[in-house]
Structure 1
Amino acid sequence: MINYNPKEWFTFIFRIHKSDTVRQLTPMMISLSIYVALIAFLEIEVFKLSDNSHIKNITILHGMLGFVISLLLVFRTNTAYERWWEGRRMWGNLTNTSRNLAMKINAVLPVDDIANKTFFKEHIVEYAFALKRHLRGHQKDSEVFTSNISLHHDLHKPNHIAKLMFVRLNELYNQKVISGTQLLFLNEEFRTFTDICGACERIKSTPIPFSYSVFIKKFIFFYVMSLPFGYVFSLGYIAVPIVVFVFYVLASLELIAEEIENPFGVDDNDLPLTMMSKNIQKHVGEILN
């Protein structure tokens, strides 16, 4: 995720970073420029179409369709941002739940029970890292700890870690280290872990419907490709940069929506899951040390 100062207008305007849509769209913008210039040359120089030609009335169609395409892109962008924000909210909940569980564990366990406190400290932190790897499709053992956490590649690792913690908690109850009331007191955090994992999996595995995404791309393509036929009459060769700019705006909105609709990847605008996991590691370590 890119950290930036939203007040630095000139930096945004004149700097092109690697996530800027200009980089991705440059080949298509060059091809579109050649296409529009060819249409303009044929209409002005070859066929010498007059202003009375009915082709110029195609701009009326563009005016009507422009309103429709703007509504579609607004809905598309809002839907993608809602998915991004829900992912951020889920990881905020994971941070708070990890802190709350660590504080409760610290309170209910005896002061000298270092072994169990270390166990929960490692597994609470590892749950965040395991969820990050699970959402990004990375299958490997712990990035942080080496003791007591060795996971098989075919397991659902977040669920497995949550199970290990709950089994240890039940053992503490059977050993009379914690009471039944305290067990119920701690159960809410374990349930929240599973709810957060399920919500993140839902966001990742449920993209925008295929037909809807394809329709928007086709709509943008045919809308832009038909623009020069009418605008050449009023703009001449100036229609080349105008049409390219319209394409840049419409296509950029679609590209941005595609990038943020899955907020758990490694793109520049995706959530900083590693940073948030390390933040959980820091706070849980402070509580349970």
Structure 2
Amino acid sequence: MIVTDKNKISWVWLLFHFRSSSFMVTWPRILTVTVTSMFVTYLELYYSIQEYTLTTTPFLLLGVIMGIFLAFRTNASYDRYWEGRKLWGALVNTSRSLTRQTCFMLNSVHDIMELQHLRQAFVKRVIAFVHALRCHLRNENCVEEIKKFLSPEDLSMVLQSIHRPLAILHQLGRDLAFARNRRWLNEFSYPFMDAQLNELSNILGSCERIKNTPIPFSYSVLIQRIVASYCLLLPFGLVETIGLLTPLVVLMISYAFFELDAIGNEIEDPFGLHPNDLPLTAISRNIEINLLELMNEHNRPEALKPKDDILL
């Protein structure tokens, strides 16, 4: 995610800021269309090849249709982006609630040391789940992230599993069952903590739904073809009307259409590593810091800070 101080940004800076923007992806397309329009303008003005020119009417009609398609595509992509952010916000809240319940609902007059060990192991397992979920969504290896929060035996079981976040979630359920069997967690409190585990499972499944169900490929292909055809043919409809200014107008129109298409492509998967994707690493680190603080752990990492205005 691009993080900037809006109070220190001028509109001039925004106009000429291209780093980490979708322009770095679309500029070859924009350049191709602009050069094509320059070539068409040259042929029309110096050779008067009028039989190959068009009127602006078909482009007006197609422009309206294409605007609707692009707006739908961008809105659909942003809905996925915002839903992903809400899910990770729910993950933050659920992790905190589960840790709070671990501190106050698990009680025992005897076995105080053993109970405290279970509390710490349980909370660290929640942290491991958060990191494993992030790596799962980004197709990364989570070994280095989770090994410091799990015992060697539990780590070995997780690494042998095909679905590592689900394996950790299963171990959390096992811990709750163990605490209930030892009478550290009474029958009235158990459903509340189990409901939090169900919420973690729902968050996991919802994130997987977003990641594994992209916008239909045929729709993306259609948008790409319509935008490319429109921008390439646009100079044939403008050259008789605006003459030498045709390349400039084509440049501005193609920039708008190609950028909207690129933005939709980039935020379609909000869990990636692009500059405009969700900062899952930073959110995971904040959860880790919060939970360790609730457990009075002094060895806590520092919160991640933006690097070159980008927070991953």
The answer to whether TM tops 0.5 is yes
More deviation in 85-94 or 221-230? 221-230
User: 2:122 & 2:28 partners in 1: Cα distance?
Assistant: 52
More deviation in 130-139 or 112-121? 112-121
After superposition, where does 1:94-243 map in structure 2 within 5 Å? 94-110=91-107, 112=112, 113-144=115-146, 145=148, 147-148=150-151, 149-150=154-155, 151-152=158-159, 154-243=161-250
Cα shift at 1:29: 2.4
Q: Is the 8 A contact 1:101 1:186 kept in 2?
A: yes
Identity, % of aligned pairs? 31
Cα shift at 1:48: 4.8
Q: Is the 8 A contact 1:126 1:142 kept in 2?
A: no
More deviation in 107-116 or 181-190? 107-116
Aligned to 1:68: 65
Aligned to 2:46: 45
- Using the size of structure 1 for normalisation, the TM-score is 0.93
Cα shift at 1:143: 1.2
Counterpart secondary structure, 1:152: helix
Aligned to 2:3: 3
After superposition, where does 1:208-287 map in structure 2 within 5 Å? 208-287=215-294
**1:122 maps to amino acid:** K
User: 2:202 & 2:182 partners in 1: Cα distance?
Assistant: 28
Would you say how many aligned residue pairs link Structure 1 and Structure 2?
284
Cα shift at 1:54: 8.7
Counterpart secondary structure, 1:181: coil
Q: Is the 8 A contact 1:127 1:161 kept in 2?
A: yes
Q: Is the 8 A contact 1:204 1:262 kept in 2?
A: yes
In structure 2, stretches of 5+ residues that fail to align are 297-312
Q: Does 1:92 align with 2:89?
A: yes
In structure 1, stretches of 5+ residues that fail to align are none
- The RMSD of aligned alpha carbons is 1.7
Name segments (4+ residues, structure 1) moved above 3 Å.
Answer: 53-56
